[in-house]
Structure 1
Amino acid sequence: MTIAWRSPLGAVLLLLCALSFAYLLLPILVVVVAPFGATGYLAFPPQGWTLKWYAAAVSDTRYLAALLVSLRIALASALIACVIGIAAAYALTRYDFLGRRLLEAIFLSPLILPTLVLAVGLTLFFTRTGLLQGSWRLIAAHVIICIPYVLRVSLPVLRRFDRSLEEAARNLGASPFAAFFLVVLPVVRPGIVAGTVLAFITSFDEVVLALFLAEPGAPTLPVTIYSAVQLGFEPSVAAISGLLVLATFMVMLLYHLLSAFRRQRD
């Protein structure tokens, strides 16, 4: 840090870095702080201080029910996408077959496909074929958009994996499944966890697919927030967003504390 400040270029880069962080974090800070205002509308800085909007958001059963739906769908989508993504990444890195690059491109294609186009296409497909019912339609759609994130994180990790370790386990009598679960999986676990977390966040935050495919009686939390904003942007809606930001911050803080504890223990 001291060396960077001695150089004019380093000072400029540090200033740009600080401005970038401020640009990204200040809107989030506004969302968290604005609902503390006593007015019936959002204002920043808040005019007066009260917890009634946060209390109203917590006591509203619509948001709690939608949160449980989002958590259930995001968890199921992330787990299914993790299994499919890891299996695909393992096959793409271990075997050289005709069309391997094409198959990888197909798995990654949802990253560049507009979500609205995918939502309309899946709605027509499920309507005409009658495949899947209820929340499973939305879960299937979320799996499609989550697999690329798992794949993008898992592929580099598996490509760097030393195959001699797996071959040694096979030579010692381990079956292919045993070698994968006892040797490969523990080594690539950080990449798998990262990909699963990305898939969970992507599914939890998705709005467009949920608007088309979610059950009318069981909307997800993003859809509920979107509908509330359309009717009128009350401070309680911002309070829900602020609670999500605070929950994310607490999870990140807990993760860093656990990581620091593990490093000290090791």
Structure 2
Amino acid sequence: MHKNGFFSLLFHLLFITFIVAPLVVVMAIAFTDKGYLSLPTDGLSLRWFRALLENQEMLDAFFLSLNLGLVSATAATLLAVPAALAISRYEFAGRSTLTGFLLSPLMIPSVVLGIAFLRFFSMAQIGGSFWALSITHVIVVLPYALRLTLASTIGLERDIEQAALSLGARRWTAFYRVVLPRIRTGVIGGWMLAFIQSFDELTMTVFVATPGTTTLPVAMYNQISQTIDPLITAVSTVLIIGTLLLMLVLDRMVGLDRVLIGESK
């Protein structure tokens, strides 16, 4: 039993090291003083972080991704809340089909979605705009917001809400003051997860992005294909740290176990 515990711990340690090591290497290279990807380095420098702040293309792409993530995550959450309440509260024909349809972007390869969106926008002649890109991201991140929101609404008793309604509260007031506080952690967690997914989305976005709507992941992809300087490692380091901070907040508010197992919890 003791040996099994030791080998299990050793296996998990090696597995975590295997996963984390590439990230650590990328972050270490970001502090190189050389003009090319190099490790080990002769000295530490913030040269490439300063270069990042002076790179207007990357900054524009960052703020575009930030705005896109805020818009798409908020829109997806606004759609996920009523959908989750309807699915968890009512028995109706096609309930399972509706749930599967809303979660279907998780099962469709991003390349297939990208080609489909590209074809649709080309036929509709509405491609190349921020709002067209936002629509694609809302569809892609909606399942992430829905899963956590659904996890909070399943099993939610309606007695307190019915009591508020019987005392004269309007439905919106009962929802805002009674229902929403009870599902708040799932809603906020779903929003954050949707935001992270939107901000990091690359494969599908490559097909629908244009020179005027280049997101940060697409800009990073272009940077990698054109040059080998360590600028991309500085960008990656900022994203890694930012994602870790968001995940820590998500764990504190909702719990990563609920994110991983979704609505089954």
Q: Same-fold call, TM > 0.5?
A: yes
Aligned equivalent of 1:105: 100
2:23 matched residue in structure 1: 28
- What code does the residue aligned with 1:8 have? K
Aligned partner (choices 183, 189, 193) of residue 188 of structure 1: 183
The change in CA–CA distance for 1:107 and 1:56 in structure 2 (over 3 A counts) is same
Q: 1:157-216: per-residue Cα shift (whole Å, max 9, x none)?
A: 101322222222222222222221111100110000110011001110011222122231
Q: 2:212 aligns with which of 217, 223, 232?
A: 217
3, 7, 25: which one aligns with 2:2: 7
Alignment of 1:162-173 (within 5 A): 162-173=157-168
**In structure 1, what is the equivalent of residue 110 of structure 2?**
115
Aligned CA distance change for structure 1 residues 171 and 13 (closer, same or farther; 3 Å): farther
Q: Are 1:159 and 2:186 an aligned pair?
A: no
1:82 to 70, 77, 86: 77
Q: CA deviation at 1:101?
A: 0.6
For 2:161, give the aligned amino acid: E
User: Equivalent residue for 2:259?
Assistant: none
Give CA deviations for 1:2-59 in whole Å, capped at 9, x if unaligned: xxxx832222222222222222222111111112222222223333222212211221
Deviation at 1:235, TM superposition (A): 0.6
Q: Identify the range of structure 1 (63-72 vs 154-163) with the bigger mean alpha-carbon deviation.
A: 154-163
Distance 1:250 1:100 in 2: 36
What pairs with 1:134-149 in structure 2 (closer than 5 Å)?
134-149=129-144
User: CA 1:250 to 1:99, structure 2 compared with 1: closer, same or farther past 3 Å?
Assistant: closer
Counterpart amino acid of 1:59? E
Give the AA of the match of 2:148: V
Report the more deviating stretch, 97-106 or 20-29: 20-29
| Residue identity opposite 2:105 in structure 1 | P
Amino acid at match of 1:224: A
Mark the CA change 1:160 to 1:19 in structure 2 (over 3 Å): closer, same or farther. Answer: farther
Q: Pick which of 237-246 and 85-94 moved more.
A: 237-246
Quick one: percent identity of the two aligned structures? 36
Aligned to 2:119: 124
Cα distance in 1 between the residues matched to 2:201 and 2:247: 21
- Indicate yes or no: 2:204 matched with 1:226: no
* Unmatched segments (≥5 aa) in structure 2: 255-265
Distance 2:164 2:98 in 1: 29
User: Match of 1:36, SS?
Assistant: coil
**Alignment check: 8 A CA contact 1:32 1:239 kept:** yes
The answer as to whether partners of 1:135 and 1:215 remain within 8 angstroms in 2 is: no
* Structure 1 residue 254, shift from structure 2 partner: 7.3
> 1:230/1:114 Cα in 2 relative to 1: closer, same or farther (>3 Å)?
same
Greater shift, 206-215 or 127-136, is seen at 127-136
RMSD value, Cα: 2.2
Aligned partner of residue 41 in structure 2, secondary structure? coil
**Which residue is equivalent to 1:38?**
33
How far residue 78 of structure 1 moved from its aligned partner, in angstroms, is: 0.3
Q: Within 1, Cα distance between the matches of 2:114 and 2:253?
A: 39
Residue 160 of structure 1: SS of its match in structure 2?
coil
What letter matches 1:102 in structure 2? T
Judge conservation of contact 1:138–1:209 (CA < 8 Å) in 2. no
Scaled by the length of structure 1, what TM-score is found?
Answer: 0.88
2: CA distance between counterparts of 1:54 and 1:122?
A: 35
TM-score (norm 2): 0.88
